[in-house]
């Protein structure tokens, strides 16, 4: 039975010259028959993870197994074979070939995989009937609604009966009437012997899920009392990519706010915070990861971490007049 096992997955790419790691030693196991929702805000890495599962993106490090297949090690013909038979993809923008009819769009993966025209046609008709489009078989995408196109996309993903189906924001381009039809078909996809992974920020899909993986932890209102931390010279308070619930004020020494550059090219100091200054307020405010690291300067430093309520109480309206809000 095909299970999905993700081990120590790290994906790093460059954004404006800075290193971004949506996944840093990420681990996940999914069981056969599950419908899994990847929930998270835009930019959290949902589509990136689907790209890795679909073998369209090679991670920086780590492994992904789908059943016995190590997806991250595939090359050449084995890679093509996996994309044909190992995974079916449902794209956010449907991505049907506009010059082909619904039936021909579903036939394409089968013809590419060497199935005869007759066999491919019969299977395409069967799948289009399954998604309720038996009367739209000869229509081109331009003559179909968004919901109908997405159902054709579902049929195409199932053409070669893959053990893994991934869907990227399948309801993003649909109105509420069209969503209804698509949701029912997505639920039916998760059957024994198949895993369905759906990336979405559409919480209407939550009741469908056997499992929800939240890639953006929800903002937690930290109630802790102020927390004083002593730092040796050069020691790190928090790292870029960490979750954060506290805003810090510098009591003694200095704090360097640094951001890692892409491709191992070192780091850039964004700011040096003097005593009386503060940093790290955006992550707790908006539930984001830390966009930079913070560490003590050349001398020992003492900082105090405040939860948002206490910090606002200390600073009042001054909080909106931040100097480091874009970086920390």
Partner 1 sequence: MWLISLRDLQYRYRRFLIAIAVTALVFGIAVAIDGIKQTLQAEPADLVASFHADSWVVRRGSSGLFTTNAVLPDSVVGALRDTPGVRSAEPVVTGRSTVTTGKRENVNLLGYDLRRGGPEIVDGRAPRSDHEVVVGDGIDVAVGDRLTTTSGTFRVVGRADGSRYNGGAPTLFLTVKGAQRISIDGLPLVMGVAVQGHPKTLPDGTSFATNDVAVADLRLTIKSAMATIDFVALLTWIIAAGVIGAIVYLTAIERTRDFAVLRATGSPSRVVVGGLMIQSLIVALVAAVLAVPLAFVLRIGMPLPVTLSGASVIRIVIVGVVVGALASVAAVRRALTTDPALAFGGA
Task: Choose the binding region for partner 1 from 164-172, 178-186, 262-270, 288-296 (rule: CB under 8 A).
Answer: 164-172
Distance between CA atoms of residues 326 and 185, nearest Å:
42
Residue 104 as a binder of partner 1 (CB under 8 A): the answer is: yes
How far apart (Å, rounded) are the C-alpha atoms in residues 114 and 60? 33
CB nearer to partner 1: give 168 or 281.
168
Name, in order, each residue with C-beta under 8 angstroms of 140's C-beta and a sequence gap of 6 or more.
98, 99, 100, 101, 102
Stretch binding partner 1 (CB under 8 A), from 5-13, 84-92, 211-219, 293-301: 84-92
Minimal distance in Å, beta carbon 218 to partner 1?
Answer: 25
Q: How far is the CB of 246 from partner 1 (least distance, A)?
A: 35
Stretch in the footprint of partner 1 (CB under 8 A) among 22-30, 75-83, 129-137, 259-267: 75-83
Do the beta carbons of residue 124 and residue 107 sit within 8 Å?
yes
59, 142, 203, 306 from 233: Cα distances, Å:
34, 63, 45, 22
| Residue (95 or 229) nearer to partner 1, CB | 95
57 sits near partner 1 (criterion: CB under 8 A): yes
Does 248 engage in binding with partner 1 (CB under 8 A)?
Answer: no
SS3 (DSSP) at 177: helix
Distance CA 247, CA 275 (A): 14
Q: How far apart are CA 307 and CA 248, in angstroms?
A: 9
- Answer yes or no whether residue 84 interacts with partner 1 by CB under 8 A: yes
Angle at 286 between CA 243 and CA 14, to 5 degrees: 60
Minimal distance, residue 45 CB to partner 1, in Å: 12
Query: Is 81 an interacting residue with respect to partner 1 (CB under 8 A)?
Result: yes
Count the neighbouring beta carbons within 10 Å of the beta carbon of residue 77.
8
How do beta strands 211-214 and 35-39 pair?
parallel
**Half-sphere exposure of residue 83: CA atoms within 13 angstroms, side-chain side:** 15
CB-wise, 194 or 259, nearer to partner 1?
194
Q: Is 78 in the site for partner 1 (CB under 8 A)?
A: no
In this complex, which beta carbon is closest to partner 1, that of residue 83 or of residue 136? 83
Annotate each residue in 170-209 with x if it binds partner 1 (CB under 8 A) or - if it does not, as one string: --xx------------------------------------
- Give the residue with the Cβ less far from partner 1, 136 or 156: 156
Which residue ranges make up the site for partner 1 (CB under 8 A)?
Answer: 47, 50-51, 54, 56-57, 80-85, 89, 91-95, 97-100, 104, 107-109, 111-113, 140, 156, 168-169, 172-173
């Amino acid at each position: 039975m095909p299970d999905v096992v993700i081990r120590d997955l790290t994906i790093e790419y460059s954004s404006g010259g800075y290193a971004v790691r949506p996944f840093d030693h990420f681990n996940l196991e999914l069981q056969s028959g599950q419908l899994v929702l990847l929930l998270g805000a835009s930019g959290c890495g949902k589509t990136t993870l689907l790209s890795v599962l679909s073998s369209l993106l090679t991670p920086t490090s780590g492994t992904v197994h789908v059943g016995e297949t190590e997806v991250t090690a595939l090359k050449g013909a084995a890679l093509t074979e996996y994309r044909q038979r190992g995974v079916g993809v449902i794209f956010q923008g449907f991505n049907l070939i506009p010059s082909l009819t619904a039936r021909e769009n579903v036939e394409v993966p089968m013809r590419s995989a060497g199935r005869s025209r007759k066999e491919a046609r019969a299977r395409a008709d069967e799948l289009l009937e399954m998604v309720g489009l038996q009367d739209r078989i000869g229509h081109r995408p331009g003559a179909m609604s968004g919901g109908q196109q997405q159902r054709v996309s579902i049929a195409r993903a199932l053409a070669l009966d893959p053990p893994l189906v991934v869907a990227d924001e399948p309801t993003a381009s649909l109105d509420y009437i069209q969503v209804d039809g698509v949701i029912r078909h997505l639920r039916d996809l998760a059957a024994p012997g198949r895993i369905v992974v759906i990336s979405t920020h559409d919480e209407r899909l939550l009741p469908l899920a056997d499992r929800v993986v939240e890639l953006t932890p929800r903002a937690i209102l930290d109630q802790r009392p102020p927390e004083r931390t002593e730092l040796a010279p050069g020691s790190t308070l928090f790292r870029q990519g960490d979750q954060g619930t506290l805003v810090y004020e510098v009591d003694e020494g200095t704090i360097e706010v640094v951001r890692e550059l892409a491709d191992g090219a070192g780091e850039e100091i964004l700011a040096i915070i003097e005593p009386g200054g503060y940093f790290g307020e955006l992550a707790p405010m908006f539930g984001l990861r830390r966009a930079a690291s913070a560490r003590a300067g050349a001398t020992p430093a003492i900082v105090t971490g405040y939860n948002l309520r206490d910090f606002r109480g200390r600073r009042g309206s001054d909080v909106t007049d931040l100097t480091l809000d874009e970086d920390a």
